[in-house]
Structure 1
Amino acid sequence: MSDSPVDMHVPGFGHGLDEALLIEWAAGVGDRVERGDVVAVVETDKASTEIVAERDGRVTTHAAAVGTILRSGDVLYQLAAD
């Protein structure tokens, strides 16, 4: 991973769902995460879902506030190498 932060995107939710409500940030700006760590929790009309880090790094930016409706593919946060 380069020194510049990388955009991390909202994954697809499956089952024809393309929107979810951001209900919690589990990783704050400045937190170090490892691949598989929970970064955020979203809620669709079917269930709550944890979004996990796709790689190791440090969260540099939250691109959405709690209460925001997210669509698959939206930038959710930025991650930089430590």
Structure 2
Amino acid sequence: MAVTALYVHVPFCAQKCRYCDFDSQSVAPCDLDAALDAYFEHLYARLDAFGNAGALGQIRTVYVGGGTPSLAGERLVKLARRISMW
């Protein structure tokens, strides 16, 4: 059976909510861009490895969750493009 959906966890928040059960952490605004850049570079490398192995060819849906994924901004667009190229 082919894998057709992928969940991507983005574990960063501007502030950690007390009720949240997600594995996430708040990062000071001055450190957020550096943390997101490092995280996404690692994520792109892992996606490329899976893509090269043929594991992403059937992906039709990508779910993004975790902390506050919208903090990633344009990185999410790049992520979608990176996944769709496989």
TM over 0.5: no
TM-score of the superposed pair, with normalisation by structure 2 = 0.30
More helix by share: 2
